[in-house]
Amino acid sequence: MAISQTIRDFITLAIHSGGWMEMDRIYLENQLIGLIGESSLSPADTRAVDQSAVELSDQLIQQAIENQVIPNLSAEKEILEAQIMDFMTPPPSVVNAYFAQYYAKNPEEATTYFYKLSQDNNYIKTREIARNVAYLAKTEYGELEITINLSKPEKDPKQIAAEGKIKKVDYPTCLLCMENEGYTGRANYPARSNHRIIRMNLDGESWGMQYSPYAYYNEHCIFLSEEHRPMKITKQTFQRLLKIIDVLPHYFVGSNADIPIVGGSILSHDHYQGGRYQFPMAKAPVEESITLDKYPDIKAGRVKWPMSVIRLQGNDPDRLADASEYILEKWKSYTDKSVDIVAVTEDGIEHHTITPIARRKGELFEIDLVLRDNNVSEEFPEGIFHPHRDVQHIKKENIGLIEVMGLAILPPRLKAELEEVENYLLNRDNRLAEYHREWADELRAEEIITAENVTAIVQQAVGKAFVRVLEDAGVFKRDSQGLAAFAAFVETL
């Protein structure tokens, strides 16, 4: 009786959310009992449901495990959960039709509809995201945002063993391809039965918009090319970014850089990230104006930020795209060896690109151009403009788009490690990681530490380390030599 009531309650929610009608109830219930290995359905009440779809799904998955439909492995549970949640999700054509109807009224209503759907059907892992540690750190550049990413579950040994037995499959081509929409998944590939993509036309090209399953900020979305092609920052990139914020003026959108070390985690598929969020960099002021001789109608300036950022504003997105391309081309050929900036090495490899971020400021279009350089050296083999080794105990991964804008995405290991740092600072029993020792000793020497303030001290110290991470990634340093070198580059514009 209990599982029958769970099935009926879940289908009630599916009818309300998934584009179904009451006439579809028997069909849906039969589909669901087959999915979880039940042979029949006992009488159950039609009532007001007092549990969420996620809570009911947990019960259905547990029943499937008891019925030996699936083993108790994370990938198998994820695949079944997505199949169950697909009942909560209208087909792609219907989702796109609803989005278009809402958009005709107001773009914000359209994204609100799609975002809520992606939460309700658990494509966005709201429960897992809530596990992340998040706080603000006060710095000379304003409040930076610190997150320790705990949302993605660690794989158990049985799961790893199961993945090793899976035959290599090249479908979907990658995690960002449209082929993922509705894909069942497998032990070594995420389930996407409840995944939906909004189709977009960007200047004659077919693109899609989806939300990120493990979002780092509000309405964290991804814009992806229908064509599987490598990322490349060109004039078309700037045009597409500005077109997106014309279509969705309440969103920002940006692109990771298109070369290794300073780029994102997926360089094989052209895509951007956006959302309904204001990052710390967007709040940073322009500290010095820049004159662009070829573009007197474009307002330009150097942003007060630990990385090297030029901000452009204007009413005409086409002119902004032209000006952005002009700066990109100047930067790609610019060398200043006095500050270790080399555009092209002797082997002919280009090392310069830009991380661009676009947003609206009222009637104005605004684009931030973050200058990037991926050279390495004997002293800095991981990257001259990459987190240096003395801060890698906090962050050693690539500095991508989200970090550039002032949100630190720190590895899960830090949650337990920072607790041990606190124990060490309070002279309690601890298992301090050796690579934190020098940093912890500096904190102990600088601060009067008590049980009441130790967490705040460590958190602010992490924020300070993140500033250093961004400064390391900045091509023109914030000292007199670096600012003079930045000014010399600006003179070429």
Give me the tens of pLDDT residue by residue for the chain, a chain 493 residues long: 589 999 999 999 999 887 899 999 999 999 999 999 998 888 877 778 899 999 999 999 999 999 999 999 999 999 999 999 999 999 999 999 999 999 999 999 999 999 999 999 999 999 999 999 999 999 999 999 999 999 876 555 555 455 556 667 789 999 999 999 999 999 889 999 999 999 999 989 999 999 999 999 999 999 999 999 999 999 999 999 999 999 999 999 999 999 999 977 788 999 999 999 999 999 999 999 999 999 999 999 999 999 999 999 999 999 999 999 999 999 999 999 999 999 999 899 999 999 999 999 999 999 999 999 999 999 999 999 999 999 999 999 999 999 999 999 999 999 999 999 999 999 999 999 999 999 999 999 999 999 999 999 999 999 999 999 999 999 999 999 999 999 999 999 9
Contact 101, 109 (CB under 8 A): no
| pLDDT at position 154 | 57
Contact 310, 301 (CB under 8 A): yes
Is residue 281 situated within a structural domain?
A: no
| pLDDT at position 1 | 56
CA-CA distance, 34 to 32, in Å (whole number)? Answer: 5
Q: 55 Cβ partners below 8 Å, 6+ apart?
A: none
Contact 341, 241 (CB under 8 A): no
Is residue 128 situated within a structural domain?
A: no
Residues spanned by the domain of 46: 2-69
Is residue 100 situated within a structural domain?
A: no
Quickly tell me which residue has 């990257």 as its tokens: 383
| pLDDT at position 168 | 73
CA separation (Å) from 232 to 224, 225, 266, 271, 328? 13, 12, 12, 9, 12
- Measure the CA dihedral 408/310/307/253, to 10°: 20
| pLDDT at position 164 | 54
Is residue 42 situated within a structural domain?
A: yes
- Phi and psi for 201 in degrees, rounded to 5? -110, 115
Q: 2 Cβ partners below 8 Å, 6+ apart?
A: none
CA separation (Å) from 24 to 16, 118, 138, 435? 12, 22, 54, 60
Instruction: Please name the amino acid found at residue 107.
Output: P
Q: First vs last Cα of the chain: how many Å apart?
A: 74
Is residue 51 situated within a structural domain?
A: yes
**DSSP E strand boundaries for 194-324:** 198-202, 205-211, 221-225, 252-254, 271-275, 286-290, 299-303, 309-314
Contact 368, 309 (CB under 8 A): yes
Q: 377 Cβ partners below 8 Å, 6+ apart?
A: 340, 384
Tokens standing for 73? 């492995």
Strand pairing category for 299-303 and 286-290 = antiparallel
- Phi and psi for 207 in degrees, rounded to 5? -130, 165
Tokens standing for 101? 């109807």
Instruction: Please name the amino acid found at residue 328.
Output: L
In our burial notation (b when 16+ CB lie closer than 10 A, e otherwise), range 374-384 reads: bbeeeebeebb
Contact 369, 356 (CB under 8 A): yes
Is residue 35 situated within a structural domain?
A: yes
Is residue 62 situated within a structural domain?
A: yes
| Interaxial angle between packed helices 2-17 and 53-66, expressed in degrees from 0 to 180 and rounded to the nearest 10 | 140
Q: 207 Cβ partners below 8 Å, 6+ apart?
A: 199, 200, 201, 223, 224, 225, 226, 240
Strand pairing category for 407-410 and 142-148 = parallel
The number of residues making up the chain comes to 493
CA-CA distance, 158 to 161, in Å (whole number)? Answer: 5
Is residue 381 situated within a structural domain?
A: no
Instruction: Provide the H-helix boundaries in 362-473.
Output: 401-404, 413-425, 437-446, 454-473
Instruction: Please name the amino acid found at residue 339.
Output: V
| pLDDT at position 40 | 85
Q: How many domains does the chain have?
A: 1
